[in-house]
Structure 1
Amino acid sequence: MTHPAPLDEQVDDARMWRDLEVFARYVKLSGSSQERESFAHLEAEMAAAGFETALIEHDAYISLPGAAALALEDGSERFECITHSFARATGPDGLVAEAVIVGAPTPENFAAVDLRGRIAVIDGLAASDATRRANLAGAVGQVHVMPHEHRHEMCISNIWGNPDAADMATLPATAVVTVNDADGARLKASLSGGQTRLRITAEVDTGWRKTPILQADLMPEGRPDAPFILFSGHHDTWYEGVMDNGGANATMLETARLIASRRGEMRRGLRLCFWSGHSHGRYSGSSWYADAAWAELSERCLVHVNVDSTGGRGNTSLADMPVCAELHGFGNEIVSRLTGQSLTGQRLSRAGDQSFWGIGVPSMFLTVGEQPIAEGTANVASGFMGNAGPARKGAGFGWWWHTPGDTLDKIDAEILRRDTRIYVETIRSLLTAETLPTDHANWASAMRGALAPLSDAPVLAELRLERSLALLDRIAAAAGPVPDLALRDLSHLLVPIDYTTGDRFRPDPALIAQAYPILAPLRAAVAAAEAGEEHRHHLVAARRSANRLAETLERAASLLEGLASHREVSHVA
């Protein structure tokens, strides 16, 4: 009797390439007619695979950049540029102001210049953290200078998803453009030579529009309300976006087709979601879905698996695939077994469609392969990866990321197959395992590593952080296999303190955040005391965070200890 090949070995390269050829026909701006045509292909393929599909239309606050121009005020020199999603439009007459060279977007560099009423000339990617610093410094315009010949499209909103009424006042308030290295050098030379006034002209179409989400479900036979694994990626793109995110969409379709062929083995359901609004609404699709489906996700969603930019040419380094601590061992085992590479343990960063941490859903993966640092410029193209942690092995994606160059020729069929096999095996394992492969002892170890240095700080002595450290030891000691519904309850406790500031219903800003945001007030109190500054106001917030941490860990330890006692009784019986 012959046995079928492992599911990941059945990945059909030709079928994925046909999907990519369809995606390459469209420029998929959020809410556009071309995006809807491409979504129709997704829906047809998912229905053909046996999934129950629903194409959901919802309101999203979307910003589409248009034409842009940059010149010296007298018009004697012009510089090729692009503007950005959520930058301010200038009107046809443009914005004219004196320009000031900032350099790298560090707090020190911003503090050293007066940007009030001026245009800031900033080195590097137009990322939301850099643009927000310029806003807060009083700039009226920004010019970002790339370190290479390419200009990368960016969404510079600091709001995660759709803004509410209070958020509107914190959206970007300046005109923003990006130039490449050559134009940046000419610009700086002109400014240094005494011509200090620039004219920025930029068109940006920002407002509410309808955008789609495709939801596709495959549940175990006879269990339509089963707990499920969420597998998601965005479908909207900059330009054709064949790598970002056509490769990931091809991976999702192929994974879904193969999983459907083994439906009888599923212990849990599978839900795929294809988002719009990722690129032009700062994750508006997944954020809206987290709000609209909050109760169902809280009740039924066990793990979120995210996928972005699979198959990119030259993306050979897998070491930095991010994963939450409790699923790191599981993810590392799959990547190591299928590819021979090991994960470095990078934390998930505030990027991608990671919109479900507040609800309490553990998450794994985001990006897959990256350019090796030895063969590329470290972390230039994919600037959003820079906050993921130290000791990175990857240098981001290729130069074509977020440019018109992201076309079909940037996909390597062998790398796409490698990446898709990782996702097929990940999803298959999550759907069929008797108990999900979570390791809360590893989670406790990671949290202890972050908390331990603070426990020795004299200024925090009265907070009694040793209690939380003891609770982490209890969690590690009691950790073991956790049934699905108990895992859900445990995740609702631990994931928010791992990745959020605390509100289960409102996402944190789309800005770089330190690991374990719950510890940020404690770190601030220590930093103020060490700098000889007034620290007692920091202690107010630190005490509240310490209380929240201890109370959450107490509940988690009690839950795990109850499960451990049950396992012991069952074993004796």
Structure 2
Amino acid sequence: MIDPPALGISAGRMHALVSELCAPGRKLAGSEAEKTACAIIARELAAAGVACTVHEFEAFIGWPTRSEVTLLGAAPRAIAASGVGMAAGTPPGGIVAPVSERGEAGCIALIDGLPRYDAIMAAQRAGAVGVVAVSHGPERHYVEASPLWGAPTGAGDLAALAQIPAVQVSQEDGALLRARPGAAIRLVAEARREWRPVRMPVADIPGESPHFVMVGAHYCTWGPGATDNLAAVAMLIELARLFAAGPRRRHGLRFAFWTGHEHGGYAGSSWYADQHWAELRDHAIAYVNVDIVGVRGGTTKALRNTTAELHDFATGVLDAMAGPLPDSEKAFVAHALRRRDMYVAPTRSARNSDQSFCGIGVPSLQVSGFLPAASPEHMPGSGLAWWWQTEQDTPDRCDPAELATDTAIHHALVSALTGAEILPFDPVAMVDDVLASLREYAEAAPELAEIAWLQTLAEQVRTAAVALAGRPATDAAGRNALLMRVTRLLNPVLHHGSSNHDYDLGRISRLLPGLSPALGLAGLPPDESRMVRVGLRRRANRIADALQAVLNLLRSGE
């Protein structure tokens, strides 16, 4: 049974910090409110006796500044709206066009749900001049709509951003617009996209070895941000206080407080990966992302964003601390985390939540506090609460007791990782992910020789990984070096399509993404098919290179 006070965890102290951090309101990356929150974090770390460095750099940030919809006519009616980060802006006076659910050219498209990038771009391709998204309830969510991961690197990246404005309105106001098809509306969606200086605190607690576990949480917010994500910030500070006061760990700890999470498409964590690439490659044992914890009613502890090699370890710790989830909750979590892959576990790392370190090969894990399936308060089809990324994410939405429980779970995960003599990595599970992904590609393009070649090579790697798992480690340092090297070889090809150092466009989660063009190969015109096959061969060569290197490594042993 979890007993947070026995570990020295203070629910009251954490909740008081959540309230203080909420007070400045929206903590937009680069704003004065961010500066205030950064100072609070630095103050708390100093009080805990933990050295902190505040990194200052320029990030590309996008945010809405003024949003409103007006239903025109004899008696114009103003409708409240929430803007969209990274979407295009309107002139100050807005734009006027008919509203339409069919999304015809020249209209303002009316869509359901969150105004994410793919939905906005679909409307843009159809010729719509703007988008009004309709929420599932009375709340209005803030989101970002960008295919970029981190900062743009050229004109092509900027051109990929949405060129039309977008907002979200409540369900009730959406029904009002639906009742007036073709009616003229004025859409005001003033927005900014620009480079601006930001701040990002990072703190270290050294261990006996040069290796460390990195624990991260974004501290920028759309609204007050109690559960997304200031509860996580309070947890990191509580963990830092506990580990700093305890005995020196075998491996060190690094606490990172990301900025530009949605405002910059993971600008902070991607900048950190770029700037500390070699250090993270050589010394980072794992990345523990903390996002959506301490949620009122969040009793379903959901494993997510977890790479294969850490899955069994994280599941074991989570089950021991919180108990296994009932089958009904497992099914609910699987649905909430659904992916595009047919045969890949939904708990695998996805393209969200500051997962900026897969190209380096760093293993990752995350445990979030989801609302259970029966809760009336979650967003449809999601474990997230309805107040996620709204102005209603206030301190009362954060449950101190639930936050203390989540902190105890993370304390157990981090304790096990920083105290491990042999790192709890499972290379067999990694290769199983390779084979699961190849299975779908083989079914879509059975004639593609490269897929069969990769399957044969992966099976050989799996045999060697099984043999390694059956051999006791006679040299802990040697076994750990081997395991870390395997993760550095396989994770980049599992999660990045073309390069270890660059980020793919879009937010679609799929393993071995470099091979994804194989899914649409059938039926392509001959010349287009030829070009796609050239690209697939190059991506297959990259994957094969990683698999062969792992095979050689496993056969040589530690």
TM beyond 0.5: yes
Q: Secondary structure at the match of 1:96?
A: strand
For residue 285 of structure 1, what is the amino acid of its counterpart? Answer: G
**Taking structure 1 as reference, are residues 537 and 8 closer, same or farther at Cα in structure 2, changes over 3 Å only?**
farther
For 2:203 and 2:148, locate their aligned partners in 1 and report how far apart those are by CA, in whole Å.
28
- 1:398 is displaced (CA, Å) by 1.3
Whether the 8 Å CA contact 2:4–2:10 is kept in 1: the answer is no
For 2:5 and 2:429, locate their aligned partners in 1 and report how far apart those are by CA, in whole Å.
29
Most deviating of 48-57 and 175-184: 48-57
For 1:418 and 1:62, locate their aligned partners in 2 and report how far apart those are by CA, in whole Å.
34
Q: Does 1:518 align with 2:518?
A: no
> Is there any run of 5+ residues in structure 1 with no aligned partner, and where?
103-112, 381-385, 387-394, 567-573
Q: Which residue of 2 aligns with 1:561?
A: 555
Q: Secondary structure at the match of 1:373?
A: coil
Question: Structure 2 residue aligned with 1:414, among 401, 406, 418?
Answer: 401
Question: Structure 2 residue aligned with 1:129, among 115, 118, 128?
Answer: 118
Q: Secondary structure at the match of 2:374?
A: helix
Q: Deviations over 1:87-111 (max 9, x none)?
A: 2221222112233314xxxxxxxxx
Sequence identity (%)? 35
Q: Which residue of 2 aligns with 1:105?
A: none
For 2:291 and 2:158, locate their aligned partners in 1 and report how far apart those are by CA, in whole Å.
29
**Taking structure 1 as reference, are residues 243 and 453 closer, same or farther at Cα in structure 2, changes over 3 Å only?**
closer
Q: Deviations over 1:54-105 (max 9, x none)?
A: 1111101122312212123446343221211122221222112233314xxx
Q: Which residue of 2 aligns with 1:430?
A: 417
Whether the 8 Å CA contact 2:379–2:386 is kept in 1: the answer is no
For 1:454 and 1:399, locate their aligned partners in 2 and report how far apart those are by CA, in whole Å.
36
For 1:169 and 1:554, locate their aligned partners in 2 and report how far apart those are by CA, in whole Å.
38
Q: Secondary structure at the match of 1:258?
A: helix
Q: Which residue of 2 aligns with 1:36?
A: 35
Question: Structure 2 residue aligned with 1:460, among 432, 448, 451?
Answer: 448
Q: Does 1:280 align with 2:281?
A: no
Q: Which residue of 1 aligns with 2:541?
A: 547
Most deviating of 119-128 and 326-335: 119-128
Whether the 8 Å CA contact 2:497–2:504 is kept in 1: the answer is yes
Q: Which residue of 2 aligns with 1:189?
A: 179
Q: Secondary structure at the match of 1:369?
A: strand
For residue 122 of structure 1, what is the amino acid of its counterpart? Answer: I
Q: Does 1:90 align with 2:90?
A: yes
Q: Which residue of 1 aligns with 2:242?
A: 258
For 2:491 and 2:354, locate their aligned partners in 1 and report how far apart those are by CA, in whole Å.
16
For 1:511 and 1:140, locate their aligned partners in 2 and report how far apart those are by CA, in whole Å.
23
Q: Which residue of 1 aligns with 2:299?
A: 316
For residue 228 of structure 2, what is the amino acid of its counterpart? Answer: D
**Taking structure 1 as reference, are residues 437 and 6 closer, same or farther at Cα in structure 2, changes over 3 Å only?**
farther
Whether the 8 Å CA contact 1:88–1:175 is kept in 2: the answer is yes
Whether the 8 Å CA contact 1:220–1:263 is kept in 2: the answer is no
Q: Which residue of 2 aligns with 1:502?
A: 498
Whether the 8 Å CA contact 2:497–2:539 is kept in 1: the answer is no
For 1:534 and 1:282, locate their aligned partners in 2 and report how far apart those are by CA, in whole Å.
32
Q: Deviations over 1:228-249 (max 9, x none)?
A: 1111010011221111111101
What is the TM-score of this pair, normalised by structure 2? 0.88
User: 1:250-399 maps to which residues of 2 (within 5 A)?
Assistant: 250-264=234-248, 266-342=249-325, 345=345, 346-365=347-366, 368-376=368-376, 379-380=379-380, 395-399=382-386
For 2:388 and 2:132, locate their aligned partners in 1 and report how far apart those are by CA, in whole Å.
20
Q: Deviations over 1:263-295 (max 9, x none)?
A: 42x121111110111131111111111112222
Q: Which residue of 1 aligns with 2:340?
A: none
- 1:499 is displaced (CA, Å) by 1.1
For residue 251 of structure 1, what is the amino acid of its counterpart? Answer: M
- 1:445 is displaced (CA, Å) by 1.8
- 1:341 is displaced (CA, Å) by 2.4
Q: Deviations over 1:312-349 (max 9, x none)?
A: 01111124433111100010011100000247651221
**Taking structure 1 as reference, are residues 320 and 489 closer, same or farther at Cα in structure 2, changes over 3 Å only?**
closer
Q: Which residue of 2 aligns with 1:402?
A: 389
For 1:450 and 1:100, locate their aligned partners in 2 and report how far apart those are by CA, in whole Å.
39
**Taking structure 1 as reference, are residues 409 and 270 closer, same or farther at Cα in structure 2, changes over 3 Å only?**
same
Q: Which residue of 1 aligns with 2:426?
A: 439
Q: Secondary structure at the match of 1:374?
A: coil
For residue 358 of structure 1, what is the amino acid of its counterpart? Answer: G
Whether the 8 Å CA contact 2:59–2:264 is kept in 1: the answer is yes
For 1:125 and 1:337, locate their aligned partners in 2 and report how far apart those are by CA, in whole Å.
36
Whether the 8 Å CA contact 1:23–1:38 is kept in 2: the answer is yes
- 1:508 is displaced (CA, Å) by 1.5
Whether the 8 Å CA contact 2:379–2:385 is kept in 1: the answer is no
Most deviating of 295-304 and 515-524: 515-524
Q: Secondary structure at the match of 1:259?
A: helix
- 1:519 is displaced (CA, Å) by 3.0
**Taking structure 1 as reference, are residues 446 and 535 closer, same or farther at Cα in structure 2, changes over 3 Å only?**
same
For 2:379 and 2:22, locate their aligned partners in 1 and report how far apart those are by CA, in whole Å.
26
Q: Secondary structure at the match of 1:16?
A: helix
For 1:119 and 1:536, locate their aligned partners in 2 and report how far apart those are by CA, in whole Å.
39
**Taking structure 1 as reference, are residues 190 and 248 closer, same or farther at Cα in structure 2, changes over 3 Å only?**
same
- 1:553 is displaced (CA, Å) by 0.8
Whether the 8 Å CA contact 2:86–2:144 is kept in 1: the answer is yes
- 1:190 is displaced (CA, Å) by 0.7
> Is there any run of 5+ residues in structure 2 with no aligned partner, and where?
335-344
For 2:36 and 2:142, locate their aligned partners in 1 and report how far apart those are by CA, in whole Å.
23
**Taking structure 1 as reference, are residues 471 and 81 closer, same or farther at Cα in structure 2, changes over 3 Å only?**
same
Q: Which residue of 2 aligns with 1:21?
A: 19
For 2:499 and 2:274, locate their aligned partners in 1 and report how far apart those are by CA, in whole Å.
13
Question: Structure 1 residue aligned with 2:223, among 209, 215, 239?
Answer: 239
Note the aligned Cα RMSD (angstroms).
2.5
**Taking structure 1 as reference, are residues 8 and 292 closer, same or farther at Cα in structure 2, changes over 3 Å only?**
farther
Q: Which residue of 2 aligns with 1:227?
A: 211
For 1:513 and 1:485, locate their aligned partners in 2 and report how far apart those are by CA, in whole Å.
29
- 1:32 is displaced (CA, Å) by 1.5
Q: Secondary structure at the match of 2:86?
A: coil
**Taking structure 1 as reference, are residues 462 and 57 closer, same or farther at Cα in structure 2, changes over 3 Å only?**
closer
Q: Deviations over 1:204-232 (max 9, x none)?
A: 133121111101011125x6xx1211110
What is the TM-score of this pair, normalised by structure 1? 0.86
